[in-house]
Amino acid sequence: MELSRMSWAKARDGLKNTTVALLPVGSTEQHGPHLPLGTDHLTAAEVARRAGERGGWLILPTVPVGVSEHHRQFWGTLWVEPEVLREYMVGIARSLGSHGVRRMVFVNGHGGNTAALDEAARILRHEDLFGYVFSWWRAIPDLIAQEIETQGSHAGEMETSAVLAFAPGLVASECYSEAVAGAAPEWGKRLHGVEIGFDTLDFSQSGATGDPTRATADKGDRLLDAAAGRLDAFCHWLASEPEESLRPRPHVR
């Protein structure tokens, strides 16, 4: 059930029967020379789509640009300020709430968005609008440890596997060697326990981390399915929870 494909007449009936909506949000940012700029928002939309197939949840239009300024030296990267993303999410949730749907999940595909999404969820809760942040890769750490052999959360084995699973034509495997040659072993750069990598370019010349040559579509498929399964389970919980227990607690006595 995708909102953007419905007429208002269809939405009138559909929204009355909707308790939980999924809002995919990601980024448009460099993902090495081998993955598309849309990797994060395309992956978020794919996880939401798979969860929606399981549980029949309402899928909202994907938010494609997020907090990505740290990739700015790589061509094509777009970004907005964190507070812009936060207010944009709050605005979407308020407008959805005006139609009677007050429970939603931000299906997130980009780590840099997390702080802004957390803030949005906190603001909304004071208005009896209930948003929750689901960052797909954080929901399946055990499976990732089992399936993914190399470190590198950004444009490495994990994300490349994910894109191979749903859009193999967008993966430029002939650029793997260029990606690996300039890659950082993992995200960030630390010195004496202090993070000194502000921009991706401070630690990765290709924009990638880890080793995308180990990626396969089968691995990606298993990760995406497992993430969708957890998201679907969360939505079932959210749909059935009494509103009283979602609200902030009153003062202690």
Q: Name, in order, each residue with C-beta under 8 angstroms of 22's C-beta and a sequence gap of 6 or more.
A: 48, 51, 52, 57, 58, 59, 60, 104, 105, 107, 231, 235
Q: 101 vs 158, which CB is nearer to Zn ion? A: 158
Determine the residue type at 56: G
Surface-to-core class of residue 63, CB atoms within 10 Å of its CB (0-12 exposed, 13-18 middle, 19+ buried): buried
DSSP state of 253: -
Give min distance, CB of 137 to Zn ion, in A.
9
Length of the chain: 253
Interface ranges with Zn ion (CB under 5 A): 39-40, 159
Give min distance, CB of 44 to Zn ion, in A.
10
> From CA 34, how far away is CA 5, in angstroms rounded?
31
Give min distance, CB of 111 to Zn ion, in A.
8
> From CA 31, how far away is CA 49, in angstroms rounded?
22
Q: 18 vs 209, which CB is nearer to Zn ion? A: 209
Residue 198's nearest CA partner among 140, 112, 94 is 112
**Contact predicate 20/235, CB 8 Å:** yes
Give min distance, CB of 17 to Zn ion, in A.
34
Q: 40 vs 46, which CB is nearer to Zn ion? A: 40
> From CA 157, how far away is CA 216, in angstroms rounded?
8
**Contact predicate 189/66, CB 8 Å:** no
Q: 18 vs 153, which CB is nearer to Zn ion? A: 153
Give min distance, CB of 109 to Zn ion, in A.
7
Give min distance, CB of 153 to Zn ion, in A.
8
Q: 39 vs 77, which CB is nearer to Zn ion? A: 39
> From CA 208, how far away is CA 206, in angstroms rounded?
5
Q: 125 vs 189, which CB is nearer to Zn ion? A: 189
